[in-house]
Amino acid sequence: MYKSFVLIKNLRSNSNELNFSEFRLTKIQQYAGHDDLKKAQKLFSKGVPLYGDWVYERSYPDIVLDDLTDIIPNDVEDTLLLLRLFKVGDLVFTNHCITEQDEPMFRQLPYRVMADIRPFQKYELENEECSEFDKFSSEMMSQNNWDSAWFQTARRFFLYGSSKYFNSIKNEVDRIVDYMIVMESILVTENNFVGRRLRERAASLLKNPDIYDNGIKSLLRDFYKVRSKIVHGDDISSFKDSIRDKQIINKFESIVREIIKEAIKSVPEGEENRKVFLKRLFDVCDGDRATKVYQDFCAIKDATEKNRCFDSISKHL
């Protein structure tokens, strides 16, 4: 029988073992003459397992050898994705290996999703939440959009972002850029009014006012400005106080997760149907478009070009 093991860091629980329907998580500890650390060091010879870290274990009694390096790594990534979607926290998966008869056969090379990062905050999970996670996992993976093109982009950048260390003091805030890519890939198919479409559609998609009040729009506006300043190489010091506030960061992280989960359940299949759905959530009115055209027209400095633009517009009236 083949087994899949992953070294887990930054997980906190009052239990020493968390049992799910398809896998289990076991805390590395020393007790009654047994030393879990020695076994972990053998499994994760390329990593640094420590007391207090955890081990992911999943068994595959019926899998054939040809499917090992395809199905099993995908299962591990799906599990990491779903756990990170389930709750806020910097859960770390690293040093994946596959064994037969308790002997390591294959070791997965490091990649951006499974990175051993310095945590920003603990991922907390209790035994009574395992069945809730199983239900959540089954619901998410049963959705038709699970394999859609937009979700493949969203999941990739969500995993990239949640695998990056966050430290606003040292300007290590690339996570914000990745999370904004996540929301754009879900909510915006157009190439204009992107920031406004994103925040208006996000607010419309998340319909629970008890959790996400009107502050969601201003919060996403601020974080979108941070994203723009980062990608354009501008100074973000004016936003340092807000993005240093753990409560604000947690709210932003929660919104990103809820948008992903709600979109998987709500956005229809097919790109055309998706575009119609997003426009129903919010679309830019003609008044806003006219204002933008006027502002751009006024920004033209050359008189000849300005007259040419005016004549061109006049012909379509």
Q: Quote the pLDDT of residue 58.
A: 96
| Extents of the domains making up the chain | 2-127, 145-284, 289-317
Q: Quote the pLDDT of residue 32.
A: 67
Query: Confidence class of residue 279 from pLDDT cuts 50, 70 and 90?
Result: very high
Average pLDDT over residues 65-73: 86
Name the pTM for this structure: 0.90
Percent of the chain with pLDDT over 70: 97
- Give the CB-side neighbour count of residue 235, counting CA atoms within 13 A: 2
Query: Confidence class of residue 83 from pLDDT cuts 50, 70 and 90?
Result: very high
Q: Quote the pLDDT of residue 213.
A: 56
β partners of residue 99: 3, 104
pLDDT digits (tens, 9 = 90+) for 86-123: 999 999 999 999 998 877 789 988 888 887 777 778 99
Average pLDDT over residues 25-48: 87
Query: Confidence class of residue 307 from pLDDT cuts 50, 70 and 90?
Result: confident
**String of b and e for 219-256 (b: at least 16 CB within 10 Å)?**
bbebbbebbebbeeeeebeebeeebeeeebbebbbebb
Query: Confidence class of residue 246 from pLDDT cuts 50, 70 and 90?
Result: confident
Query: What does pLDDT average to over the chain?
Result: 90
Q: Quote the pLDDT of residue 175.
A: 93
- Cα–Cα nearest to 116, from 176, 49, 180: 49
Q: Is the predicted pLDDT of residue 302 greater than 60, yes or no? A: yes
Q: Is the predicted pLDDT of residue 212 greater than 60, yes or no? A: no
Average pLDDT over residues 148-159: 95
Average pLDDT over residues 28-45: 86
Q: Quote the pLDDT of residue 285.
A: 86
Residues 6+ apart with CB under 8 A from 149: 271
Query: Confidence class of residue 126 from pLDDT cuts 50, 70 and 90?
Result: very high
